Amino acid sequence: MNAPTGKDLETLRAKAQADHRALRARIDRLSDDAIDLILRDARSHYAWTDKPIPPGILEDLYDIMINGPTSMNTLPARFVFVKTPEAKARLAKSLKPKNVDKMMAAPVTAIIAHDMDFWKELPFLFPHEDRRHLFDGNPEYCADTALRNGTLQGAYFMMAARALGLDIGAMSGFSNAIVDQEFFAGTSLKSNFLCNIGYADETALFQKLPRFPFDKVCSFA
């Protein structure tokens, strides 16, 4: 992909700036209800109703989350939506025993992974400057960049799901090695964490656990 230059670049930049000004004029902040839904009053769920996930909503989720920022627009995250009984049985091999029922009951479980060869897509994703040389032959830098930015994208994924009215329950009690063998053998993908998706059975909830106050964990320099 060729990067725009000259007047084409000026036109694209002017449009981007105008679009941002228009967005800020239209919406100066989210409503308190929206913030409650996404984060403040949102809960992690591990029990699920049998309400089906509507067709197309996972595509909508992706279309929202993919717009979250990553360094150099690397976008290393990859997603596998585990839905079938056969695929769930394969995924169950990786889980700690207490997590098996949680995953099996969820309508969908997403494997949040990242592609260690993400940098090969930079000519498309970051066309105005070729930065592949930063990663080629530097596996440690590749791994750090993929994990950091893939984790960011996993967080965007969860917020996008909540914004669409879905409930989520992230899980880390599993073997990454087994997931990678079952789903990513022979590829450049590595699993990060799992996320159950559906409509929750809130009768399984307990009280929300404590959170730190601002002064406990924040400071000014």
Over the stretch 28-63, which tens digit does the pLDDT of each residue have?
A: 999 999 999 999 999 999 999 999 999 999 999 999
Main-chain phi, psi angles of 112, to 5 degrees: -90, 115
- Count, in order, helices (H) and strands (E) of the chain: 9, 4
The residue-averaged pLDDT of 84-88 equals: 98
27 within some domain:
no
Per-residue pLDDT at 1 exceeds 80: no
The structural domain count of the chain equals 1
Sequence-ordered alpha helix ranges (H) in 27-165: 32-35, 57-65, 85-92, 97-105, 122-125, 139-163
What CATH number does residue 122 fall under?
3.40.109.10
The residue-averaged pLDDT of 115-130 equals: 94
Per-residue pLDDT at 69 exceeds 90: yes
Q: Please, which residues bridge with residue 110 across strands?
A: 81, 195
2 within some domain:
no
The residue-averaged pLDDT of 122-149 equals: 96
pTM for the full predicted model:
0.95
Rounded distance between C-alpha atoms, residue 107 and residue 54, angstroms:
11
124 within some domain:
yes
Per-residue pLDDT at 194 exceeds 70: yes
24 within some domain:
no
Domain assignment of residue 117, given as a range: 42-203
| Reduced DSSP (H G I as helix, E B as strand, rest coil) percent helix, strand, coil of the chain, to 5 | 50, 15, 35
Is 33 exposed, middle or buried (CB count within 10 Å of its CB: 0-12, 13-18, 19+)?
exposed
